[in-house]
Amino acid sequence: MKGSRKVDTSPIAEHLDRPRKGAARRGVLRSGFECPAQPMISNRETPLDSFKDAQGRLIPLRAQPEFPSAKFAIREAPDEEAVPMDVLFVGGGPAGLAGAIELARLVRADSESGGTLGDLEIGILEKATSLGEHCLSGAVINPSPFRELFPDTPVSDLPFRGAVGGERVLMLTANGQRKLPTPPPMRNHGNHAASLCEVVSWLGDRAEELGVNIFTGFPAAALLLDGDAVVGVRTTPTGLDRDGNPGSGYMPATDLSARVTVLCEGCRGPLTAAWMEEIGAGSQNPQIYALGVKELWEVPKPLDEVIHTLGWPLPGDAFGGTWIYPMGEELVSIGIVVGLDYRQSGLDVHELLQRVKSHPLFRGVLEGGEMVEWGAKTIPEGGWWSIPERLSGSGLLIAGDAAGLVDVPSLKGIHYAMWSGIHAARTIFEALKAGEPTAEALSAYDGRIRNGDIGRDLFRRRNMRLAFKGGFWSGALKSVLSVATGGRVPGGRIAVDEDAAEPRTVTAGETFSPDGKYTFSKLDAVFRSGNATRDDIPSHLIAPAEVSRDLVNLYEHMCPAGVYEWGEDGMIINAPNCIDCRATDVLGPRWTPREGGSGPSYKRM
């Protein structure tokens, strides 16, 4: 195994040494209610009814720009100065890091036992400035992949904040609560509460110890293709001015070549979508998503149990719930998750989280405390039926959330992401040992996912989330049946549309006035995400050609970071506020990767 500094990473190293322009100049997101400095007027209002159905309901899909797949999959060879990798993991989250660690372990064991594989250059490309800064989760973690990767490490040395003690599931009304039996998939005995940022940072240290090359601050902008084969990736350039021209401190894109690229870019990854379009692969159901908004609170009293709630303040036609997790003595994680198939255009997930904090349950936990971090992120919720029909191809594998490996009934994705990374590593290792990582050799990965533990869990609970498409109470009944019959009833596929095709009744949304102590405006909240985007960055969001007032109203409520607003001349896009949750890409303007290090700087999310 070569050391992490032996490859010629000079373009990347040079870039890393470059002072981050603008990071210290954050004028936009000061705490308070100031208007961001870079309003970008996108469109003028047009009196369009074409975004609505016959009942006057908005259909976001009708306005959504086409997915620009050609931007993310380019038929070009890596340039002459490309950084040569054998295996490249795109995304330094749990999937990418577990995969890189397992591959490095296998290569080391092979070398120590006199194997012939030789050295391998393993790389991880991560868009955040430091590992973990773009990672957000609940999180209660199933520790099984940690036992696999670190069999000699006692659990007390793993990056967890405490074993789950008690747990409760509650049905909330505006002022009351009723305890429900904990559904079997939601039982957390043996699991651990943790900060995903801390877990990822810890995994990064282990990967580096094994000689993995970690390139932080480098978003992959596109796959490089030779015919059908993925031969590397191209990063985003940095230092572009507002109009997209090279500005001071400009650094062009860097190419990295790889024999195998593993896409671990998380939920709603555009490279994954482009590759699927490229090879014409689909899934039985389209992927559907939820948006989670989370806050970390320092509190005077420790919490000793995991709490999940259903019901208030969600309307009956939206799927979701809240959580309260203990994070050690002084810290508590709270959050809300809502399916992006919600039916009212004025529903606002950030505001629902603000509202729920007025409930006696939440107030009791947070009383006397302080909100110290805020963030938001999407989750793939489609489960078994939405897994891409191919997770492997020539020079490519897909792992973790990028492949949709989340089990919504148990609210788990981290250990599935890690296990999928481990399976990817084992498949690549075997293919390399056998000679070449051909598409056929890599296709063993599909079987490992579908026919192994991940596939078994997702298949057994394949309809539990989808059952709620027909309403909360019928969904609850079908879920009980599904658990009782091991997933056999309802057994057949419940077909669903993509979220953007779901018609929305036009509603104004409830008025909300943050008090700055327990409840926060979106701008205040973005400030607490540590957003490090420079103010004069070009917009990375592709807006529709035309918008209507009702449509922009939907975007305004959908976006937890206050990126969209209606101005005198049409829609204003405050692109630097974006914290990369990717909800916009599900329902509205398209999200694309931007300059490395932009976005949130989560520390303990």
Ligand X SMILES: Cc1cc2nc3c(=O)[nH]c(=O)nc-3n(C[C@H](O)[C@H](O)[C@H](O)COP(=O)(O)OP(=O)(O)OC[C@H]3O[C@@H](n4cnc5c(N)ncnc54)[C@H](O)[C@@H]3O)c2cc1C
Distance CA 105, CA 149 (A): 9
- Maximum Cα–Cα distance for the chain, whole Å? 72
| Nearer residue to ligand X within complex by CB, 267 or 356 | 267
Q: Kindly indicate which of the ranges 84-92, 406-414, 496-504, 577-585 contains the residues binding ligand SF4, using the contact rule CB under 6 A.
A: 577-585
| Nearer residue to ligand SF4 within complex by CB, 233 or 579 | 579
| Nearer residue to ligand X within complex by CB, 51 or 72 | 72
Measured from the Cβ of residue 371, the count of other Cβ atoms closer than 10 Å reads 20
| Nearer residue to ligand X within complex by CB, 42 or 213 | 213
Q: State in angstroms the smallest separation of the CB of 572 from ligand SF4.
A: 12
Answer yes or no whether residue 58 interacts with ligand SF4 by CB under 6 A: no
Closest CA to 335 of 318, 349, 314, 315: 349
Q: Which of ligand SF4, ligand X, none interacts with 121 (beta carbon under 5 to 8 A by kind)? A: none
| Nearer residue to ligand X within complex by CB, 31 or 69 | 69
Query: Tokens 């990817």 identify what position?
Result: 424
Q: State in angstroms the smallest separation of the CB of 282 from ligand SF4.
A: 24
Answer yes or no whether residue 581 interacts with ligand SF4 by CB under 6 A: yes
Question: Using the rule CB under 6 A, which residue among 482, 584, 598, 601 binds ligand SF4?
Answer: 584
Q: State in angstroms the smallest separation of the CB of 436 from ligand X.
A: 26
Measured from the Cβ of residue 25, the count of other Cβ atoms closer than 10 Å reads 11
| Nearer residue to ligand SF4 within complex by CB, 264 or 561 | 561
Residue 183, token pair as written in the block? 């559904």
Residues of this chain, 291-320, that bind ligand SF4 according to CB under 6 A: none
Q: Are 223 and 258 in contact (CB under 8 A)?
A: no
Q: Are 52 and 275 in contact (CB under 8 A)?
A: no
163 φ/ψ angles, rounded to the nearest 5 degrees: -70, 150
Question: Using the rule CB under 6 A, which residue among 131, 233, 583, 605 binds ligand SF4?
Answer: 583
Question: Which amino acid would we find at residue 141?
Answer: I
Q: Which of ligand X, ligand SF4, none interacts with 584 (beta carbon under 5 to 8 A by kind)? A: ligand SF4
451 φ/ψ angles, rounded to the nearest 5 degrees: -100, 0
Q: State in angstroms the smallest separation of the CB of 583 from ligand SF4.
A: 4
| Nearer residue to ligand X within complex by CB, 235 or 548 | 235
Distance CA 499, CA 449 (A): 26
| Nearer residue to ligand X within complex by CB, 520 or 591 | 591
Q: State in angstroms the smallest separation of the CB of 563 from ligand SF4.
A: 4
Q: Which of ligand X, ligand SF4, none interacts with 339 (beta carbon under 5 to 8 A by kind)? A: none
Q: Are 240 and 533 in contact (CB under 8 A)?
A: no
Distance CA 462, CA 491 (A): 8
Q: State in angstroms the smallest separation of the CB of 579 from ligand SF4.
A: 5
Count of residues engaged in binding ligand SF4, rule: CB under 6 A: 12
Distance (Å) of CA 569 to CA 30, 40, 49, 419, 573? 26, 10, 19, 50, 12
Residue whose beta carbon is closest to ligand SF4: 584
Those residues whose C-beta lies under 8 Å from the C-beta of residue 564, and which sit 6 or more positions away, are: 552, 555, 556, 558, 571, 572, 573, 574, 588, 589
Answer yes or no whether residue 499 interacts with ligand SF4 by CB under 6 A: no
Residues of this chain, 515-574, that bind ligand SF4 according to CB under 6 A: 541, 559, 561, 563
Q: Which of ligand X, ligand SF4, none interacts with 365 (beta carbon under 5 to 8 A by kind)? A: none
Question: Using the rule CB under 6 A, which residue among 106, 303, 402, 579 binds ligand SF4?
Answer: 579
DSSP 471-482: -HHHHHHHHHHH
193 φ/ψ angles, rounded to the nearest 5 degrees: -80, 145
571 φ/ψ angles, rounded to the nearest 5 degrees: -80, 135
* Site residues for ligand X per CB under 6 A: 90-96, 125-128, 134-141, 196, 219-220, 264-267, 269, 292, 294, 335, 337, 377, 379, 400-402, 406, 411-415, 417, 593
Residue 259, token pair as written in the block? 């024999």
The residues of the shown chain that bind ligand SF4, judged by CB under 6 A, are 541, 559, 561, 563, 578-584, 591
